[in-house]
Amino acid sequence: MSDDNAHDDPQDAIDSQGERRREELDDRIFEHSAGDEQEGIPFVGAGPGNPRLLTVAGKELLEEADLVVHAGSLVNSELLDEYCAHAELVNSVGKDLEELIPLMRDAYDNGDNVVRLHSGDPAIYGAALEQMDALEHEGVPTHFVPGVTSAFAASATLRTQLTLNEVSNHVAFTRPQGKTLTAEEDHISEFVEMGDVTTCIYLGTHAVRDTMDRLLEADHDPETPVAVIYHASWPDEDVIIGDIGTIADKVEEAGYRASALVVIGDAVTGAGYERSFLYGDWANRGASENADENASKPEASDD
């Protein structure tokens, strides 16, 4: 084991790495793409819940791991049983950086294959970068391995797209005001006001009533569709469909206070979209132009 006192405080390491980011880009940005095999500790997205939604890269890394530091109950235990039964498992819930960083660093320095397993995709509300910066500052290389985020599992469950022609041109991943977000930083009302945005609210199940009340106070259409997908892709998945005016009552009746994704916008139902240009006249234009051009050329001769 390394002497923890010989290493920097995680906050100091994060601050130092932040300064480096301002001054220069990491060379690895130009050397590796997502999915490449890389040295160091991978920060793997476990996906939304169903073990089958784990990526091939994530599966391979977990099967080779000696130590898996995982996000507790946010990661389906079936996934841990199927791919991590051979490894030492450490639940990160309740542990701070001062405990997690030395744990992963020392295991890596001792030659173990270490995997940091986040729920969903670690790039979305995963607090991954602070761990990675702290490890990198101590000489431990890290990299991202993307995962399927819950918004994509939710759209699959709803059998719709998050973007639809003439319905939703944009997608917003956001969260409501609370302990970590001030009222001024909460832009949910602005996203909904745009009209052609599908707003996906993470970490906001407990605040559905407050969020909908604020949208009503801002004079948003109470019949705007809203879906709440509890445990998207898990065996106990539940889907609640309503609108801004009714969804809070339905969620409270179901008793959910966490682990659900809230989706606001007309894409929830998938109604009213227009045919895209992708498989229409726009797509056929190039083929038609080529056909006309070829028709004007003299036939080739075998002579």
Are 183 and 177 contacting, i.e. CB atoms less than 8 angstroms apart?
A: yes
Burial 7-46 (b: 16+ CB within 10 A, else e): beebeebbeebeeeeeeeeeeeeeeeeeeeebebbbbbbb
Q: Are strands 225-230 and 67-70 parallel, antiparallel or unpaired?
A: unpaired
Domain range summary for the chain, segments of one domain joined by +? 10-146, 151-269
- Stretches where the chain sits below pLDDT 50 are 1-5, 301-303
User: 247-254 and 208-217 are packed helices; what angle lies between their axes, rounded to 10 degrees?
Assistant: 170
Burial 179-204 (b: 16+ CB within 10 A, else e): eeeeeeebebeebbeeeebbbbbbbb
Global confidence as pTM? 0.86
Close Cβ partners of 84 (under 8 Å, ≥ 6 residues apart): 62, 65, 68, 70, 117
Are 269 and 198 contacting, i.e. CB atoms less than 8 angstroms apart?
A: no
- What pLDDT does residue 5 have? 46
Question: Which tens digits make up the pLDDT trace of 18-49?
Answer: 788 888 888 888 899 898 999 999 999 999 99
- What pLDDT does residue 2 have? 42
Taken in order 85, 87, 88, 94, is the CA torsion positive or negative? negative
Judge: domain 151-269, CATH 3.30.950.10: yes
CA atoms within 13 A of residue 126's CA, in its CB half-sphere? 29
Q: How far is CA 234 from CA 48, 166, 201, 211, 263, in A?
A: 8, 32, 18, 25, 18
Q: How far is CA 271 from CA 50, 60, 168, 266, 288, in A?
A: 28, 40, 11, 7, 32
Q: Are strands 41-45 and 114-118 parallel, antiparallel or unpaired?
A: parallel
- What pLDDT does residue 147 have? 98
Spatial CA neighbour of 150 closest among 175, 168, 181 = 175
- What pLDDT does residue 80 have? 97
What CATH architecture is 10-146? 3-Layer(aba) Sandwich (3.40)
Taken in order 187, 191, 193, 198, is the CA torsion positive or negative? negative
